Amino acid sequence: MKQITHKLLDWFQKNKRKLPWRETDDPYAIWVSEVMLQQTQVNTVIPYYLRFMTSFPDVNKLANARQDNVLKSWEGLGYYARAVNLHRASHIVVEKFNGQVPSDPALFRQLPGVGDYINAAVQSIAFGEKLAVVDGNVRRVLSRLYEMTEMVNQTKYAKVFASKADDLLSHDKPGDFNQAVMELGALICKPRQPLCDQCPVSAHCQAFKNDSVLVFPKRHIPPKIPTENWVAAIIKKDNKVLLTQRKTDGFLGGLWEFPGGKVHKNETSQDACLRYIQEQLKLEVRIISQAEQVKHAYTHFKQKMHPFICQYEAGDIILNGPVDYQWIFWSDIHQFALPKSNLKFLKKFDELI
């Protein structure tokens, strides 16, 4: 294990990617990067991270920002609960810790959105705490090193992988070692085309020795992701269109959107559109036209979005579900943080609105 640790650290120092969050020792900046990197590829994160840090360069700026502005900076990155929790946590850091990110893992772990991964990553990299990180890359590396038969995507085996990671962790340079294992998984120990001839620890890898690299990691095959039909209504009134805001908690929390929702079984998309407008807003509208559907995939379901252009006919808005609404000029639409599915059909409506 000592040889593996030493070789990984040496390899990392020579081969690590130049990434913006590796150019700083600011715990807040490291925290932001790790939140963004959850379930998101590095190349996708980089421009978001740079823009976010320009807008909110320290925890005080983030805490003083409006949630709408935070979500707008996050727009398109997905998993918006990450942004909402980070914003909430910034308030706590300012109020309870005088604007200093807690260096105590137990205190940091209590902040909104901070789970075991974020805690270990930030505390080890920023403060040198001896906590091993376990993410998808790490589980894949461990699985091949030891030919582990435990399923990497089942939570019941989380403690087994955590124990293996703890055994390997460098106590002298825990932050560098955690990054080294994750970097190895990202660049060398890839899921489908691992570069074993370039791996610094291949001599210690059981899967490499036994020519079973592509057999690992073992994964539980989940059921097929369902496809759902949704509707969205672009309601026109005079020269404006209507946006509603979702509740902060829950799916796509805090985002603005065109009103609508999931189509029920045995219901047409047109009927669903009119139903949601009545249920959520108590408005009478007339459907003018329907645009081409757009497709988007979330973690647990695939979405077919059917957008409609509607003309306001009568009624005063009484919200049931959404927490806020605004009538806006179409030219101002990009000032609001919208779900990716809504963004996908915006261009289709430019010539129709």
- Residue 87 and residue 109 share a domain: yes
What residues act catalytically? 34
Q: What is the CA angle 296-76-178, rounded to 5?
A: 105
Cis peptide bond N-terminal to 217, omega within 30 = yes
The verdict on residue 220 lying in a domain is no
| Neighbour tally for 257: CB within 10 Å | 19
User: Helices 81-97 and 67-74 sit at what angle, rounded to 10 degrees?
Assistant: 130
Assess whether 20 and 95 both reside in one domain: yes
- Provide the CA 26 distance to its chain's centre, in angstroms: 22
Q: Can you tell me the distance from the alpha carbon of 32 to that of 29, in angstroms, rounded to the nearest whole number?
A: 5
pLDDT digits (tens, 9 = 90+) for 180-234: 999 999 999 999 999 999 999 999 999 999 999 999 999 998 888 999 999 999 9
- The CATH number of the domain holding residue 118 is 1.10.340.30
Distance of CA 306 to the CA centre of its chain: 25
Do 24 and 107 sit in the same domain of this protein? yes
Residue 84 within any structural domain of the chain: yes
Q: Which residue has the higher pLDDT, 179 or 334?
A: 179
Q: pLDDT tens across 227-280, in order?
A: 999 999 999 999 899 999 999 888 888 999 999 999 999 999 999 999 999 999
> Is there a domain that residue 187 lies in?
yes
Are 171 and 252 in a shared domain? no
Identify the band that residue 1 occupies on the pLDDT scale cut at 50, 70 and 90. confident
Closest to 162 in 3D by CA, of 142, 184, 190, 188? 142
Q: Is 306 in the same domain as 234?
A: yes
For 313-336, what is each residue's pLDDT tens digit?
999 999 999 999 999 998 899 899
What distance in Å separates the CA atoms of residue 157 and residue 161, rounded to the nearest whole number?
A: 7
Distances (CA, A) of 343 to 10, 27, 327, 347: 44, 33, 18, 8
As a whole number of angstroms, the distance between CA 240 and CA 312 comes to 10
Asked whether residue 272 is domain-assigned, the answer is: yes
DSSP codes, 174-222: HHHHHHHHHHHHHHTS-SSS--GGG-TTGGG-HHHHTT-GGG-S----P
Q: What is this structure's pTM?
A: 0.83
Q: Are the beta carbons of 147 and 222 closer than 8 angstroms? A: no
Amino acid at 163: S
Question: Is 222 contained in some domain?
Answer: no
Structural domain includes residue 221? no
Distance CA 169, CA 172 (A): 9
Query: What's the gap between Cα 14 and its chain centre?
Result: 30
Same domain, 116 and 240: no
Name the residue type at position 270: Q
Among residues 215, 247, 276, which one ends one of the domains?
A: 215
Pairing of strands 256-257, 324-329: unpaired
Per-residue DSSP letter, 165: H
DSSP state of 254: T
Q: Are strands 294-297 and 302-314 parallel, antiparallel or unpaired?
A: antiparallel
Instruction: Report how far apart, in Å, the C-alpha atoms of 305 and of each of 111, 308, 337 are.
Output: 35, 10, 18
Among 187, 142, 135, CA closest to 18: 187
Same domain, 123 and 174: yes
**Is 252 domain-assigned?**
yes
CATH of the domain at 234: 3.90.79.10
Distance in angstroms (rounded) separating the CA atoms of residues 321 and 28: 34
99 and 10 in a single domain? The answer is yes
Tell me the pLDDT band of 11, cut-offs 50, 70 and 90. very high
DSSP state letter for 21 = G
Query: Could you give the maximum distance between any two Cα atoms of the chain, in Å?
Result: 74
* 3-class secondary structure, 316: coil
* 200/284 same-domain check: no
Shared-domain flag, residues 292 and 173: no
Among 168, 195, 215, the domain boundary falls at 215
The domain boundary residue, chosen from 183, 215, 247: 215
Q: Containing domain of residue 323, as a range?
A: 227-349
At 352, is the pLDDT very low, low, confident or very high (cuts 50, 70, 90)?
low
Same domain, 317 and 235: yes
- Asked if residue 76 is part of any domain, the answer here is yes
d(CA 5, CA 171): 10
Instruction: Please count the structural domains in the chain.
Output: 2
DSSP strand E in 63-182: where? none
Whether residues 62 and 209 share a domain: the answer is yes
